[in-house]
Amino acid sequence: MKKIITISIISIFTLSISAQSLLPKKYGVKFGINSSILNSTSNDGVENLNISSSIGVTGGFYMQIPLNDTWYINTELLYTERGGSFNFNYVHDYAPLNSRDEYSTENTLKLSYVDFNPTLSFKASEKLALNIGPSLSFLISEAYTFSEEKIKGDSSIVNTLDDAIYESESLNVGLNFGLSFYVNESFLLDANINAGLMSIGTITKETQLPSFGNIEKSNIYELSNYNFVIAFAYLF
């Protein structure tokens, strides 16, 4: 019985030491800016596909868990703004009239996420660390605007097509990789790229009605994005 109690105490003590070694060494806050760029699949009939980046803010909580003197697990919980503008032209045919209208569109997408980023960090020197790890982004809000203008065709024909519709995905999984520069023990500068590995949503635009001898058509754009982030972290 004494052996069992002794072994149990030693085991509990060993587990306690192991658990303490994985406790965060430092906590902190992190703030920065995020440049977000949308990617899209292209469709037949789409011309002048043009995608622009947007600038947003990112910020939240940060902690360091040392594995040894050179390897760390850095965990972040951040609020992040992403999005961009997405513009394209499309055509609308009127078969019996042998007529074709061409339209230009403007699309703006603003998304807000809560990001969970567990990162494996290798401290290559006293000042420089290399970072890589997964990213889980949970969508908390979205705003999509759409407008269009006829740029070619018969002005007397009224466009009865529906506006574009955006359907979002609530979760995005990505990969983070980048560098950390330690100004001192409490202050560091991060430069990271976040590459989304999943679709963040789809935009569907009706371009042809099943009337006037036409076949019903829609352009569907599956969107993904990647981000370049520069942020400052202060550790307590």
Inside any domain, residue 18: no
- Residue 50 inside a domain? The answer is yes
- Extract the tokens encoding 10: 């030693």
In a domain, 157, yes or no: yes
The answer as to whether 28 is a domain residue is yes
Question: Does residue 9 sit within a domain?
Answer: no
The answer to whether 34 touches 26, Cβ cutoff 8 Å, is no
Quote the pLDDT of residue 19: 43
Mean pLDDT confidence for 11-26: 50
User: In terms of pLDDT, which residue wins out, 65 or 86?
Assistant: 65
Domain membership flag for residue 148? yes
pLDDT at 188: 94
Domain carrying residue 34: 23-235
Residue 147: which CATH number? 2.40.160.20
Q: pLDDT at position 10, please?
A: 39
The answer to whether the pTM exceeds 0.85 is no
Query: Given pLDDT bands bounded at 50, 70 and 90, which one contains residue 213?
Result: low
In which band, very low, low, confident or very high, does the pLDDT at 9 lie, cut at 50, 70 and 90? Answer: very low
pLDDT at position 44, please? Answer: 57
* Sequence-separated contacts (24+) of 52-55 with Cβ below 8 Å: 52/84, 52/85, 52/86, 52/87, 53/84, 54/81, 54/82, 54/83, 54/84, 54/85, 54/110
Q: Give pLDDT tens digits for 55-66.
A: 999 999 999 989
| Per-residue model confidence (pLDDT) at position 62 | 93
Contact 31, 59 (CB under 8 A): yes
State what percent of residues in the chain have pLDDT above 90: 47
Q: Which of 8 and 221 is assigned the larger pLDDT?
A: 221
Residue 3 lies in a domain: no
Displacement of CA 68 from its chain's centroid (Å): 31
Give the bridge partners for 228, in sequence order. Answer: 35, 193
Integer distance in angstroms from the first to the last C-alpha of the chain? 46
Inform me whether the pLDDT recorded for 209 exceeds 90.
no
Position 90 confidence tier, pLDDT thresholds 50, 70, 90: confident
59 occurs within a structural domain? yes
pLDDT, tens digit (0-9, with 9 covering 90-100), for 97-114? 667 788 888 989 999 999
Q: Out of 11-15, 126-130, 148-152, pick the least confident.
A: 11-15
**HEC readout, 199-225:** CCEEEEEEEECCCCCCCCEEEEEEEEE
**Total number of domains constituting the chain:** 1
